Amino acid sequence: MQQLLAWFDGEEHARNMPWRKPWIDPNARSAKRARHAEDDGPSMHARLKVRAYQVWISEIMLQQTRVETVRDYWNRWMERWPTIEALASATRDDVLSAWRGLGYYSRATRIHQAAQSVVHHPTLQGMLPAHVEDLQKMVPGVGRYTAGAISSIVFGHAVPILDGNIARVLSRQTGLYADPKSKATVDLLWDMARLLVEQAAAHANALCGNLPADAAQHNDIPDMEDVCTFCAPFPEQTAIAAPQPKAPPKKKMKQTTLFGAAPPSQPEQQASHAAQQTLEYVRQFPLKVAKQASPIEPRLVCIVRASPPPDGPPGEDRFWVEQRPDKGLLAGLWEFPMQLLLDGAQTNLLDTARGYIQHRLPPPWPSTETPIGVVASNAHAQGTVRHVFSHLVWDLQVVLLDASTAFDPSIEVHHNVERHGAWLTAAEVESATMGTGMRRCWSLITTDGACHT
């Protein structure tokens, strides 16, 4: 155990994860262990509140995102909102903007809503709960894994965590050959993880003695590091064994052959072959389940550009954007007008685009004539962007349309009654909070020089 903890401390330092900080013992009572008492700085309660907030943000950011990517985002986030109260008082647009590039924007929305809920809760008052059950019940968007991470890392409770990495190593250790996504298997793996953590916590001092005060916190984290480093999902990334104590150097033997280094002896060949067979067998766990292909939706994206009127004052081109609903996929993000392409619509893409925006948008420039609507004078296909979600694929066919206003007393102008929208300059579009797919659509016209300021 001591060797494992020592190895973990070295790996922790080498991987440079800023959210990994010295443990704050919430049960510290002696003057020596409570040297950061109120007269010397923030109270224990205040320090635990910030620590829990930091760990919570890191765990949400790390969901389906690599450590290397998260590191800079986490640092910028903490510089901007160092406390949960600061985050709760931020605007939704600011939070989504800070999340830009991490993907899965619903995570940012849930974090913001949960921070507001925790801060305004009459009992919590900004302090995340210490126990798994309370975290899941009282903090919106926190599931069993995140709750376990916060409870163990921050408050030192011996509780399990389980994700794909842990599930893989437990399956290989126990020979569990079952669908890792099925409910029965997941429940069993959670029980395995719980038993391991509880037994480690109960017997650690008896087995190893003199464990550090934060041993309970270490119960989960070394397992994760062990899994990520030594039990990767792909064969070429898998090592045969965890780190071992260094053995004394063997005496070097001088031996040469006609072709260079001597071939391995027969026992060595047999041992190597047996090890390879074992490794190949281990790689079969857990059961590999064929993933169903995600449905593909062809969609039309209309980037509508309006240039200043020739008889008006000079100005910049403007582009129409709309804000998605507060709930659902890509909630609250901005996008260009988009619609699902039905059968046959793809063959007449430009006509479909013209018809989609016809008299649908409000005029980009003030006008004394009413009613007035926007029509497309020109339409140009820009290309296709494929945007992949976890459960869905969008094939976005991008069309750039030049807009002009038209006066027609017989038309009924709807002016985009379904969603909130706005005409933005190119610079404003750049700073708007858009999803990755829509941002790539925008890059098609900026790369080609079709965007003029």
Q: What is the mean pLDDT of residues 151-176?
A: 92
**Checking phi first, is residue 273 left (phi over 0); if not, alpha (psi -120 to 50) or beta?**
alpha
CB 261 within 8 A of CB 252: no
Share of the chain above pLDDT 90, in %: 47
Residue type for position 139: V
Confidence (pLDDT) at 317: 92
Q: What is the pLDDT of residues 233-268, one digit of tens each?
A: 544 444 333 444 444 444 443 433 333 344 556 666
Choice between 186 and 272, residue whose per-residue pLDDT is larger: 186
Confidence (pLDDT) at 373: 67
- CATH H superfamily, domain 296-447: Nucleoside Triphosphate Pyrophosphohydrolase (3.90.79.10)
Q: What is the mean pLDDT of residues 79-108?
A: 93
Q: What is the mean pLDDT of residues 176-200?
A: 92
Assess whether 59 carries a catalytic annotation: yes
- Pick the catalytic residue from 11, 12, 38, 59: 59
User: What is the DSSP secondary-structure string of 194-238?
Assistant: HHHHHHHHHHHHHHH-S--TTHHHHTTHHHHHHHHHH--SSGGG-
Architecture of domain 2-230: Orthogonal Bundle (1.10)
Q: What is the pLDDT of residues 21-49, one digit of tens each?
A: 888 887 764 434 444 444 445 788 899 99
Confidence (pLDDT) at 253: 38
Count the Cβ atoms, other than its own, within 10 Å of residue 79: 8
Q: What is the mean pLDDT of residues 175-188?
A: 92
Share of the chain above pLDDT 70, in %: 74
The span from the CA of 423 to the CA of 428, in Å, is 9
CA-CA-CA-CA torsion for 230, 231, 233, 234, nearest 10 degrees?
Answer: 50
The residue among 31, 59, 88 whose CA lies nearest residue 152 is 59
CB 413 within 8 A of CB 363: no
Of the listed ranges 174-183, 236-245, 424-433, the one predicted with least confidence: 236-245
Domain ranges of the chain: 2-230, 296-447
CA-CA-CA-CA torsion for 333, 335, 338, 340, nearest 10 degrees?
Answer: -40
CB 279 within 8 A of CB 376: no
Q: Is the pLDDT confidence value at 398 over 90?
A: yes
Grade residue 359 by pLDDT with cuts at 50, 70 and 90. confident
Confidence (pLDDT) at 239: 39
Of the listed ranges 71-75, 109-113, 356-360, the one predicted with least confidence: 356-360
Mean of pLDDT over the chain? 80
Residue type for position 395: D
Grade residue 452 by pLDDT with cuts at 50, 70 and 90. low
Q: Which of 7-11, 249-253, 273-277, 359-363 is most confident?
A: 273-277
Q: What is the pLDDT of residues 137-160, one digit of tens each?
A: 999 999 999 999 999 999 989 999
| Helix or strand (DSSP H, E) at 97 | helix 92-99
